[in-house]
Structure 1
Amino acid sequence: MPELPEVETTRLSFADRIAGARIEAVRLGKPLRWPLGVKPEKLVGRTVRGVRRRGKYLLVDLDAGVLLMHLGMSGSLRFDRAMPEAALHDHFDLVTSQGVLRLNDPRRFGAVVFAEGESAPEAVKLLGGLGVEPLEEGFDLAAFQAGLKRRKAPIKQVLLAGDLVVGVGNIYASEALFLAGIRPTLSAAKISRPRAARLHAAIKEVLARALEKGGSTLRDFSNAFGETGYFQLEAMVYDRKGEPCRVCGTPIRMIRQGQRATFFCPHCQKS
């Protein structure tokens, strides 16, 4: 699933190019996770003001309303002056005066939802429960430490939940926990203040590094230019089951948490 670095990389690859564009048509393919919420022709004539990100959502601001886009498990966006005819897994085209924004999603867990604004019920339902952004000043250490103390669930699951800090998905949760030396099965409430501080710093460091590398391409992620990411090439634990730890040489282990694969070093992350 595209996580925060992949979504932000995607945003950066087309936001400037689509800003100021006038919507000329909207084409829908097979149904996505949620309905668009407005008749496509109602969007024609509106202007794209800009593109923001909130967690794993892209917010395409219009002069009236906003399009909330989610890439789901396997989605990707392309933006170009001209696009070939829509293929099997192309499910949404936003045709503008400056190019076509196309969502390709083989598994169709992605979504494009229109809302009149961020206070509209559709937007509140999707965005209202999201935690703070980890790469912004609002990611406060004291608040993070207090939030961990209120949660008894395993720390990996707490990070994935997204209500304490947003956008730390499966790849980067494993990587941040390794960097902080914390075993992913440890209850969040049992993490000491010094270790919580290390985890807070590790989350920021891992996400910033992944963004610098254009995200991670494990199967089919690419940005709106069609470019892949490279962070996976330097991952310390993720997707490295059985391979030697880059620090101590101990074989990396893989366990299942909430049906998601978790990777860690049993020596570097003893508790």
Structure 2
Amino acid sequence: MALATYLLVMIVVQNQMELSHPALVVSATALMLILLLPLAVVVKQEYRIKRELEDSLLVPSTVAVEKPPAAAPLQMAAKAETEEAPATKAEDAATPASGGCFGSCLKEMFSPPAQGEDYTILQALIWNYAGRVTAGFVSEAVLARYKFPRPLMLTLVLLLACVGHLHIAFGVRQSLYAASVVIGFCFGAQWPLLLAIISEVFGLKYYSTLYNFGSVASPIGAYALNVRVAGYLYDVEAARQHGGTLDGVGDKTCWL
């Protein structure tokens, strides 16, 4: 996300002003630092694992086997219940209320999970693409709360993408960058919705095959719409403007 944001800002800046050579060196250096950030994550994680291993070796492992005395089973059960009740109360007291978890949730969001544990939604939200995360998380939330179907959510995403395409088609001034952000967001939002819809409509028995068919639909649709529809219409208009035919070798540039 940091790399995508940086590239978007630099593209806009470079198209609006002429950057000097020192400024280009600084921007390239910043770009290299962002690209090398994953190495810092790996080094930090390896250092953490090494430190945990060294700490575990310093503490001697002791295994104590204690045989319970021959006491009455009822007395042992009563003692276990009396010991378990305060622990349960302490756990309930330590659990924050649903309305006041903002601070703890924010702290958890920036804290990595223990080794071997899965990331939570908040922890993964920093490292995932905005469109994919938003589409998956929001569609799941509105489906559970308002019974809002995912196909309708996909329709809204496609309508939002149409807004970006219309900005480009009509040549609205100073809207190219905003339109590219909207279209890119919607393109990323389509995939989790499509894959979830496939699993809900057709089931999980043949999901691996259906998953690949869903991926193949994108290049097939791109070929049909871009080459067979848009390309054909472009050639027809170019031939009309230049007074030629489609199978000629003349200039086929469309001046619309």
TM-score by length of 2: 0.24
TM-score by length of 1: 0.23
Structure number with bigger Rg: 2
Structure (1/2) with the larger helix percentage: 2
